[in-house]
Amino acid sequence: MDAITLLNSSMSNSSNFENRFIAYFSDLMSSEDAAVRQFAKRLALYAYYTSYDNKAPNTFSHLISSQFRIDSGYADNIRQAIGDMNTGQWLGTVFNEELDEPTLNKYPSIALNIARNNASDSEIVKNIVKPKSSQFNRQAFISAHAPWIEGEGTYLVSFAANARKDERDFLSIDYTYRGNRNTVLYVKIGRLEAYDKVKGKKLGQATQTIYAAVPKLGMTAGDNSVSEYYKDAYELSDFEDNNYAVLSWKFLNDFFNDQSKYRMFVKGVNTKNVDINLIPSQYFTEQFNAYGMDTLVSEDEEVSSEPIDNTISQEVNDEKPTQQSERPKSKAMETK
């Protein structure tokens, strides 16, 4: 079979040139050889799933004939989708009953799905430098073994930041290893408030915002990308590399609501008199990381308790994307 060589960019082809491509593609679709027809159909599916009908360099879904779109049912599906959008029926299949409130026009599940599919896009998800802990929040900095790093490299599965009015719901951190960018997505699970049990008042200066890692969706390879917008808000990705270890709602909810487990230190207040309460964000429900870890370590693993003197980085809320992240030095699963 003859080979067809595209120009450097499919965006620069003339209409006449592309019409020839469409004709060649149609010839493959109607070939007398069943193997060729099957190959052409698979090529058409590949073209669609790597571009979602968006014309860009190195994509060719726009070269698929209209007749194939009709015969395959694509045109009918698009017609149905447009009809559902015009009548509002699409909401019944898109929104998450536990997270969303259609009557209030609130759809956090959609925001979460967009963030999970665009974790590496700093225009959508704010990218930050890996934050540092302090003596007041070190226990919130929990790490898991990084699957992309050989040896004892880790990444954060949760961390705390100073509460601010302009804080983001979603953050990402890049963990660079051997020149490869490994992005982890974090969701704000809530604000942790401290109370003086003796005086019965809130200790406002101790309020922290807690972030936890969630699995990403989609995949990017070179100029091509595949999205997974068809997934539910907390459904795992079909790409195994996205399903890195995370902490479950059960663990996070128990840990950050129990002063004996997560001990907050407040200046001038005896630790025994401090009580804590996690005010959950709209994303933090029992569905959150349903496939995540309920415990930190197995019985034969150690938890590092080495002291950390650094203070939390203000870059958590500054407008500065990270260029390179420091390589973690702790063990496979630890609290910092």
SS (HEC) of the chain = CCCCCCCCCHHHCCHHHHHHHHHHHHHHHCCCCHHHHHHHHHHHHHHHHCCCCCCCCCCCHHHCCHHHHHHCCHHHHHHHHHHHHHHCCCHHHHCCCCCCEHHHCECHHHHHHHHHHCCCCCCCCEEECCCCCCCCCHHHCEEEECCCCCCCCEEEEEEEEECCCCCCCEEEEEEEECCEEEEEEEEEEEEEEEEECCCCEECHHHCEEEEEEECCCCEEECCEEECCCCCCCCCCCCCHHHCCCCECHHHHHHHCCCCCCCCCCCCCCCHHHEEEEEEECCCCCCCCCCCCECCCCCCCCCCCCCCCCCCCCHHHCCCCCCCCCCCCCCCCEEEC
272 pLDDT tier (thresholds 50, 70, 90): confident
Higher pLDDT, 164 or 184: 184
Residue 209 has pLDDT above 60, yes or no: yes
Which tens digit of pLDDT belongs to each residue from 59-84?
Answer: 777 778 778 778 877 777 777 767 76
Q: Is the pLDDT of residue 258 over 90?
A: no
Residue 218 in this model has a pLDDT that exceeds 80? yes
pLDDT for res 303: 36
- Please state the length of the chain: 336
Task: Render pLDDT for 1-50 as a digit per residue (tens, 0 to 9).
Answer: 444 455 444 556 667 777 887 888 888 888 889 998 888 888 888 877 77
Q: Report pLDDT for 142.
A: 92
Sign of torsion over alpha carbons 73, 76, 81, 84: negative
Judged against a pLDDT cut of 80, whether residue 287 lies above it is answered with yes
Whether the pLDDT of residue 250 is over 90: the answer is yes
Q: Which residue did the predictor score with more confidence, 8 or 156?
A: 156
pLDDT of residue 304: 38
The mean pLDDT value for 254-280 works out to: 85
Q: What is the pLDDT of residue 149?
A: 79
Instruction: For residues 207-223, give the mean pLDDT.
Output: 88
Are 316 and 166 spatial neighbours (Cβ–Cβ below 8 Å)?
A: no
Mean pLDDT of the chain: 77
